Structures are given as C-alpha cells and as structure tokens.
Amino acid sequence: MIFSSVILFAAAFVLCSVLVPWFERFGRSRGYVTGHAPQKIDARNIPYFGGVAMFLGVLTISLAGLRVFPLEVKPINFFLFLSASGIVVVFGLYDDLRELSPVKKLIGQTLAALVMVAGGVRTEIIYISGWGNIFLSLLWIVVMANALNLMDILDGLAGGVSIITISTFFLFALVTGNHFVLLVAAVLGGAVTAFLRYNLPPARIFMGDAGSQFLGFAQAVMAISLSLAPSGHEIGLVIPLVILAVPIFDLFFVIMMRLKQKRSIFVKSNDHFVFRMLKSGLSNATIVFAMVAVTIISCLCSALIYRFSNNAGMVLFSALIGFLFLYGLKLGKLEIKQ
C-alpha cells in the first residue's frame, strides 16, 4: 500500500507541477486575475485557476491509479467521488468567474454531498437514526466545503494547512487499512504540494473557490469514510473535528463576528481571525507558519485521542477547544476596517 501511495503522490505532484503553471499563464493571458474580478477581495493581478489544475491532476492520476495498482477500492465508489468533486469544481469555477449567490452555491455543495451520501458515504453513529446520519453527513460535507473556502484568504494558508490534515488522514487510513482514503489522500496530497510551490507568499496563482471548496469537500469525505470510533471508544467521533480544527475554528469565528455585528453570515467581509492577526503586526509568512504549527499540534492531538481512553480523550479534546475559544475571544476584541 505504501509503495502504491508514494507512486500516486509522485505522479500527481509531477502532473500538477505542469498543470498549475500552465493555468497560471492561461489566466494571465485571458485576464482571469483577481484585480479584474470585482467579487475578489485581493486587488493583485493573480490568476485563480489553481483549483482547476489540482482537480484535473487528481482526476487523471486517480483513474490511472485504479487501473494500475491493486488497491482494494470499489470503482463505483471512487467514480461517485470524482463525479461529486466535479460538481463542486464546476459550481466553484462559475463562482470564480461570475459569482454565484449563496443559495446557488449551497445548492451545488448539497448536490455533491447527496451524490456521496446516496453512494453510501455517510456517518454510522449508532446513537442517532438513519435519517439523522444522512442529515449529519450532508451537513458535515457542506460545512467543510465552506470552511476551506472561507480559509483561502492568505497566500499559502489553505494549502499549507491542508497538506498537514491530508497527511493525517493518510496515516489514519494506513492504520485502519482504508484503501479508498489512501488513494484520495495520496493523489490529493501530491496535487496540493505541487500547487503550493506557486501559492506560497508571494503567490503566483490562487486555487479559487473551485479549489478551496474541492479541498474541503474531499477532506470531509475522507473523514466520513474512516472508521475511528469503534464500540467502546466513542471519543473517536471527535477525531475529524480535531484534525480539521483550524478551518472549523475560522468558520465559526467568522459566523460569530458577523452575528455580533448584526450582518448576514453569507455576505463577504474581513471577519476572519487571519485579518485580525495581520492587524496585530504579524506578517503573511508568520501567520501561515503559525497556522500550520497549530494544525500539526491538533493533528498530533487527534492521534493521542485515537490511543487514549474515552475520559482521557475528552479531557484533551476539551483543552484544545478551550484554547481555541479563549484565543478567539482575544482576537474578537480587535477591530478591523470592513
């Protein structure tokens, strides 16, 4: 499994190392840059087709990997994943080019989530009903697609954090023997690593809404597909929350700040903890480094929770949530210009 995964990672990295700069040149030549797009907050002339390049790389190498390597993955399940991912990317790309309304964006995300849930990718929590698991799965996928989308506001941030979280999902897939997640994590990890070469500050290309929503969608699907909470170790249910603590924190921070100011949670604004960190005097590179470091810590906590008893795991989980809550209160006191 490890040999196959390394080959898939390398293949995705090489292909996306070709696709990403090609899409950068294409975006610049056709004027698809943030400075010309009124819906983009960033005023620099940066192309935003990096997500399309990543998806095409993942699509190509995944299909090739299914044929070449003897991974125990049901082709129908993976085809459903690629199809649902395609829906996310198409809606995201349209949002990049024309800007979709929040309702239409949610429709696209929900449609993609329905494809996965209908294909059997859903939570199986015994404490809630079958319909409850379906609803929870749909909600989780949509929330994570939006969480990564909101987090993609700083050069290298969403990609840098995702490299760590994807690697963690890969390790959990190795431990549990989940070939589907191994394949997704290996190929997606290679694609994101190649993209980051051109997205670290100062960025030459952005992933756009197509890429950020695709990243969030894929990681949500990986989280649901892993079985981390067997009977007697129910605390394992919080492991995906711990792995993805940073993007989830940003999502809820933005929501709370907008509600506090009595503004719609669907209207774009600067209500992100990152902008408050910038206001405090930290540089772009320092913030990315700090967020990657926090993500590494949260992912290490997820590994400990996987090994700890229910009680010890709950203590660690509560400590992590408490730290993020207190830090959020501190950042929330900093005012920024809208």
User: How much is the pLDDT for 214?
Assistant: 97
CB 148 within 8 A of CB 212: yes
Domain of residue 305: give its range. 2-332
User: How much is the pLDDT for 275?
Assistant: 77
Residue 160 lies in a domain: yes
User: How much is the pLDDT for 269?
Assistant: 64
Phi, psi of 267 (to 5 degrees): -90, 130
Q: Tens place of pLDDT for every residue, the chain, 338 residues?
A: 788 889 999 999 999 999 999 999 999 999 889 876 676 666 788 999 999 999 999 999 988 887 776 656 677 778 899 999 999 999 999 999 988 888 999 999 999 999 999 998 999 888 899 999 999 999 999 999 999 998 998 899 999 999 999 999 999 999 998 988 999 999 999 999 999 999 998 999 999 999 999 999 999 999 999 988 887 889 999 999 999 999 999 898 888 878 777 776 766 666 677 777 887 778 888 999 999 999 999 999 999 999 999 999 999 999 999 988 887 777 776 655 55
Residue 337 lies in a domain: no
Residue 338 lies in a domain: no
CB 273 within 8 A of CB 250: yes
User: How much is the pLDDT for 279?
Assistant: 77
User: How much is the pLDDT for 70?
Assistant: 60
d(CA 54, CA 31): 20
* CA 93 remoteness from chain centre: 16
Residue 236 lies in a domain: yes
d(CA 156, CA 42): 14
Residue with tokens 């294409």: 26
User: How much is the pLDDT for 334?
Assistant: 61
User: How much is the pLDDT for 169?
Assistant: 97
Residue 147 lies in a domain: yes
Residue 253 lies in a domain: yes
Residue 97 lies in a domain: yes
Domains contained in the chain, number: 1
Residue 131 lies in a domain: yes
User: How much is the pLDDT for 71?
Assistant: 59
